[in-house]
Each structure stands twice: as C-alpha cells, then as structure tokens.
Structure 1
Amino acid sequence: KVDDLFKKQQAFGYTQEDLVRMIVPMAKDGKDPVGAMGADAPLAILSDKPQLLYSYFKQMFAQVTNPPIDSIREEMVTSTRVMLGNSGNLTDPNKAGTYALSMRTPILTNQELASIKALDCRRMKSVTLPILFDPTKGADGLRDALNELCEKAEEAARTEQNVLILSDRGVDENHAPIPALLAVAAVHNHLIRKVLRTEIGLILESGEPREVHHFCTLIGYGVTAINPYLALETVRDLQARKRLGDITPEQAEKNYIKAAVGGIMKVMSKMGISTVRSYHGAQIFEALGLNTNFINKFFVNTPTRIGGIGLVGVANEALARYDRAFKSDESVLEPGGWYGPVKDGEEH
C-alpha cells in the first residue's frame, strides 16, 4: 500500500519539499504556510526539471497601495460556497430544469465526492470521465485523449447529466495522467464554445493538486469543486507516521482542507474578489513560458507575453514524471527546492 502511494506521488510530481513545507504545516496547523517575498528560483520555462503546468501561470493582483480586501477582517463579505449543476440562465431565474447543489467549500473530501457520484435522481445525474492518456504515444496520445475528452464532455452536457467528474484515478504502467489544469481548461473552454457550459457542473478528482496555487488556477479555469484524493491520502499517511503530532486522521484532513480554503480566499482577496463563485472561471492569470497557439486553444484570452512551450513540451514534462514513477528504480521523492535551495534540487 505504501509502495502504491509512493508510485502515485512520483507520477504526480510530488517532492520532499511538498510534504515538508506545504502539506505538513497545512495538515498540522490548518493554515496555508507563509514564506518571504523575493522568489529566486527560475521561471518554470527556464528550469532544468519537469514542472507542473500550474507553475507557468501567475496570479494577477489589484495594483493599488492599499489591500483591495482583507479576507480575515472583512470575513463577513466573503463566501466559499459554490453551486454545482445546471446554473441555468441568469436572465431567467425561474427557468425550468435549473437544478444545482450548494456546497460549503470548493474542496471535497472522498466521502463528499462519493455522495455526488451516487446521485441518480430525476434532476441530478453525474458522469465520470477519465483524464488519462497512453504514454507510449507521447504528445499525440495526449492530444488524442484531450480531443476525446472534450467530445465526451459535450455529449454529457447535451444529455440528462448535469455533474461532470474528471478523474485521473487509474494511473498505472499503461496510463499516464493528463495534467489536471489542462484537462479542466480544455473541457471548460470547449463547453463555452459550444454554449453548453452552464448546463453542467465540473468536478475534478485528481492526485495532482496539493497546494493553494494549484487549487486557485483550477477554479480560475473553470472547475467548480476539487477532490485532491492523493493529497488527502498523503495527509493520512503522514499522520500514521507520527509526522503531524498528536491529532487524529480526521482532524488532519479537516485542517488540510481548512488551510486550502483559507489560502484560496487569501489569493482571491489580492484581486479584490470576495466570493469563490466570482473567482470561478474568471481566468485572472497570465502565462509565462507557454506559446500562443497552446493558450488560444486551451486557455482562451489568457495573456502570454513571452511565448514558450506548447502541447509537446507539456506532454514531455508529464511523461518525465510518469517515467520516474514506472520506469526508474528511484526509492525517494525528488528533493524539490522551489521555495529554498536544497542539494540536487532546483537552481537558485
């Protein structure tokens, strides 16, 4: 079981730094860890190591001298609630067929996701689509898998389903995960082009996201809720190995989700946004190191001023993580070194 967890952590690019600097403080203290300004690690496009797609996006912020909103002291105007399902027509609030679940936060536990997957009543139906591709086919395999995913999502939106779950469970020697942010943005923008996006709610069940920036980019590019199953599994493993002090597994998971949601609110407040529903799909990011064709297809209208890699480059980085998990005999996670210099880690 531990070996299985380790393989999955490798496949999704987990590092020792992710565990020590991000996940442990979140699960132990229930707060998003704070670091100093002045990051001196290279931009993702200039790094020698394979990067997650999130690292190519930078959050924009309201460029004013006073903070646009204080998410702690002005908590009464903030809301983490999201609506999942058919959000209908804003100009016709009584439109027949509009039906949605109201959820307290955009981060879901495994139990909450299982409840949503089990929905099968007249007005709420869910469907799960895999976000995996054939690693032997390289970038072509990723491109084909994305095209097929968008077609199936469109088909689901045109039928009775109103909850679409994108899942990368099932990663193994024969299946590599599509980068979660790419899958989400591809489906979201495809459904917008087909004028179907409001017909269906979008959930991500993924082992890839584990820190606040990951959750923010996913919500910003259209996902309604996220179940970070591998992060939650990692939290429970850390608790079992006594890395989180004297707390129960349930409390550790609760702390982690609380830290993630608090961090999302903190990031949103930099732009003066006070509700997750306003941040959802707002795409308030700029890309650094992604080429224009790639952005225009999957991340429509996102500024990208310096160009860089496209689908082939993103596929190569995903396959580098896959190869480390299933084609090497590495027995430890990569050191990381994004937030601070470490031996054999990221250059600074």
Structure 2
Amino acid sequence: MRHGAAGLPRDSLHLHFHGQAGQSLGAFLAPGVTLEVEGSVNDYAGKGLAGGIIVVRPDAGARFVAAEQAVAGNVALYGATAGEAYFCGQAGERFAVRNSGACAVVEGVGDHGCEYMTGGTVVVLGRTGYNFAAGMSGGTAFVYDLDEHFQNRCNIESVDLESVWQEEDQALLRRLVEQHAACTGSAKAASLLANWDAALPLFVKVMPLDYKNVLRRQAEAAHDAETASATEEVFHARGENEHA
C-alpha cells in the first residue's frame, strides 16, 4: 500500500537460489523483487512477469559452456507485461510468447520464439529455432546471427529484418547486453562486448510491420505538426512586421 501500483523500488528484495526451480518461477513477479537462480528453471519461468527481475545462470562450479546449454524450459515469459529477465544459457520453445512489455536477454531459443509478441524487447545472443516472430505485432527483437541464416528460421510474414543502424537501437542493444553481463557473468556477453564493432553488424533487428507503420505515422504526424507550427510562426512574424 505504501508504494501503490508502482511497487517497490528496483531490487528492494533480492532472493538468491541454488539448484533447479520448478514450473512458473517468478510468475506475475512484482516490481522491486529480484529472483536470482544459480542452476536452471523449468517451464513457464516468468509467466506474466509484471515488473520484477529474473536472473538465471549456471552454478559457479559448472564445467560446461553456458551458451551451449539450456538453463530454462519452454514458454518462459509467457504473457509478460513488464520487468526484466536474463538467462545465461539457452531457453526452450516459445520463449516470450505474448510478451507485451518485458525486456529479456537469452543466449539461444527453440522454435516459435517471440510468437505473438506485442511489446517489450528481446535480445537473443545465439541461434534461434524455426518460426521465430510468428504473429509478432509489436515490440522489438535483436538476434545475433553468426551463421547469417536467421532469415531462414524467422517467420517473415509479419516482420521486417533490418540491420541495427539507428543510434538509439545500438544504444539500447548494448545497454541490454551490458546488463546481461553484469547480472549473469555471461562469457558470451563479455566476448561480444569486447569485440563490439565486429559483433554489431551481425545483429539483426526484427521489426513487426504493424508496429513499424505505427511509428512511421507517428513520426509523420509529429513532423507535420512541427512544420505547421513553424509556418504559423513565420505567418505571425510577417503580420507583425506589416503592422510595424
């Protein structure tokens, strides 16, 4: 009640777990709460995530390469509305389905990633499965396409694939990769950041066509309003000069 609908300040409660978590860890997790797991999580991790933070990374003593192993099951972040999630390793199928506002970084996903996504931002630092972005109508995804075959695994009926050339996109992407490295200690993220100029051209921006059209119309409306305002100022200035 003290903090209202906004919830607790970021990271007010930080819970640290070891081992394997069952299904739906952090479901509907509220703002201000961070769940950190050293181990792995089962299906539906972060279901309905509503402002909290989930961090999953292998145990410190693990001898495998994190980016090559699964640390999360299927349907992680289903229906998430806000918050952040960082997975140091791969996730299963249908990652971030119907995500409408959460930001997430993962090092690989199975089939149907970002299916029906309507908002938020997803960064994939590795290979995706097939049918990525099917029915995606909002939000943005950035995929590290090392083998340059991502277009064959993405469902392009409703999205455009672009290079990450805009400065605001570059800044957002780097910030999320840096946050992922800081939260998880990811060797994959650290390697990309150490060679950022070479890594950046291999990222693909997945942009829903509907969302892109909305942004274009908004930009055009803002430009028209700015032009109209400038024209009006010139008109009034001329009128004042004529009456002087």
TM-score by length of 1: 0.24
Ranked by relative contact order (alpha carbons within 8 Å, sequence separation 6 or more), the top structure is 1
Q: Larger helix proportion, structure 1 or 2?
A: 1
Structure whose residues are more often strand by fraction: 2
